[in-house]
Amino acid sequence: MRKLALLIGLAALVAGPASAQNASNVPITVTYFGFGESTLTREARGPLVRFALDFIATGQTAVQIAGHTDRAEDDDALAQRRAEVVRDYLVALRVPASAMTVQSYGELRPAIDTPDGTREPDNRRVEVMVGAGSGW
């Protein structure tokens, strides 16, 4: 209980008031990855704390995590590692690993369409969505 209270306090500091957005099938996007990197930054953790708290509080049972790269990285393994680091962080926040599905899309589904070889920070992302079979 003490750990949950600490997480709630942390979430209030970094993420502001609770949002009903995460209880629906609207993905949150983590776009704080450097070029060629899969390290989760401090800025990316706040939305994930809020997501974990919302997920647990609403009794949801499934989460989809989708990793992406930009068109200069073009690396499915990197997109997979990004998704896995988000999954691992959510597990540390007590979201059950068995509830999560991890997918890698590499450069196939850019947030911003760019020519091949273009570095676009908004495409270096992980999307997290409540629900199974959302059709990503």
**Secondary structure (DSSP) of 64-127:** EEEEE--TTT--HHHHHHHHHHHHHHHHHTT--GGGEEEEEEETSS-SS---TT---GGGS-EE
Q: Domain of residue 123: give its range.
A: 2-130
Domain-located, residue 136: no
Domain-located, residue 135: no
118 CB contacts (<8 Å, ≥6 apart)?
Answer: 70, 71, 72
pTM across the whole model: 0.79
Residue 4 has pLDDT above 60, yes or no: no
Domain-located, residue 106: yes
Number of domains in the chain: 1
pLDDT of 26: 66
Domain-located, residue 107: yes
pLDDT bucket at 17, cuts 50 / 70 / 90 = very low
Rounded to an integer, the average pLDDT of 75-89 is 97
Task: Tell me which of 11 and 114 has the higher pLDDT.
Answer: 114
pLDDT bucket at 32, cuts 50 / 70 / 90 = confident
CATH number, domain at 116?
3.30.1330.60
pLDDT of 27: 78
Element (H, E) at 15: helix 2-15
Residue 19 has pLDDT above 50, yes or no: no
